[in-house]
Amino acid sequence: MVSVSTNNGALTACYHAGLMSANAGKALQRLSSGERINGSGDDAAGLAVASKMRSQIRGLHAALKNTAQGISLLQTAAEGMQTSEKMVQRIRELAVQSHNGTYTDNDRMNLQFEADSLLNQLAQNVEGTKFNDINLIDKYTPSRSEMVLAALEHRHARYIAHVFDDLPLPGPAALESVIISIGDWMAQEAERGCLFHAAVAAAPRDTRLRDLLRQHKSDVAKRAAIAADLADRENDISVIIEGLTQSWPLLQNAAVTSTLNLARLLRR
């Protein structure tokens, strides 16, 4: 008679063989990954902690990359600023050098050519100093005309301080002090004439430059009229002062003497 029976020994052997295979698989996975926890079945709580730490580590790596890129950006900006500074220092050196009395007009023209070239290079450097298409020095590059206007504004502020600081009380002595101070300024800063008029002559169609010239000349005349206590003679004083600045290159100190004589006639 045929009978069916259960082979308990074979089932037990198969069960333990499966366990051994699973354990061997886990061991191989740990050996290959180098990690003790490879899944929630290994250690659920440990896996949560490990996942959190892994996320923090990845975030720190990203932060390090951001920091490295930021350092590169600052280094690029620093190099651009150093290059611009060298150009500006050279332009200033040329400006001081041009006051050398031994230079001819052709020598000064050559200095001006170099200064113009440096101004163009400066604008290109400002525009070209970028990191990932981000302009690092300035998002706005001033034109040559705007740089000239800014320089003349600064020069006018120095001129006003030189001429009108520490004046006597309003009256004839104050006006004479203004004229003498203008003569000193011309001797020290504008031996070859008023730079404002030279700038207008170089750019006759620049209306902003002409308007600035008119504004500054009016400011000087108004201050001088108040100092002289002759507010109603502002136009006359303006003409006298302009005569001094325009005639200085030819007459020099004699122009100051003649201007003082004309100023005394204002009170007759």
Can you give the CATH number for the domain in which 121 is found?
1.20.1330.10
Contacts within 8 Å (CB) and 24+ apart, 147-154:
147/119, 148/199, 148/203, 148/209, 149/208, 149/209, 149/212, 152/195, 152/196, 152/199, 152/209, 152/212, 152/216, 153/212
Residue whose C-alpha is closest to residue 222's, from 177, 178, 176, 169 = 178
Domain span including residue 57: 47-135
Q: Structure pTM? A: 0.53
Would residue 3 count as lying in a domain? Answer: no
Instruction: Answer yes or no: do 129 and 105 share one domain.
Output: yes
Total domains, the chain: 2
The token pair at 148 is 């000239």
For 135, the enclosing helix (H) or strand (E) is: strand 134-135
CB 235 within 8 A of CB 154: no
Distance CA 206, CA 35 (A): 75
- What is the rounded end-to-end Cα distance, in angstroms, of the chain? 158
Would residue 14 count as lying in a domain? Answer: no
Instruction: Answer yes or no: do 181 and 258 share one domain.
Output: yes
Instruction: Answer yes or no: do 150 and 228 share one domain.
Output: yes
Distance CA 166, CA 177 (A): 10
Residue whose C-alpha is closest to residue 118's, from 137, 144, 136, 138 = 144
pLDDT digits (tens, 9 = 90+) for 222-237: 999 999 999 899 999 9
**Residue where a domain stops, chosen among 108, 135, 162:** 135
**Residue where a domain stops, chosen among 135, 158, 187:** 135
Instruction: Answer yes or no: do 106 and 166 share one domain.
Output: no
Mean pLDDT, range 153-172, rounded to an integer:
90
pLDDT digits (tens, 9 = 90+) for 39-64: 656 667 776 777 888 888 988 898 89
Instruction: Answer yes or no: do 100 and 203 share one domain.
Output: no
**Residue where a domain stops, chosen among 70, 104, 135:** 135
Distance CA 110, CA 97 (A): 12
Instruction: Give the CA count within 13 Å in the CB-facing half-sphere of 265.
Output: 8
Q: Higher-confidence residue: 167 or 139?
A: 167
Facing residues of 130 across strands? 135
Would residue 12 count as lying in a domain? Answer: no
Mean pLDDT, range 19-34, rounded to an integer:
70
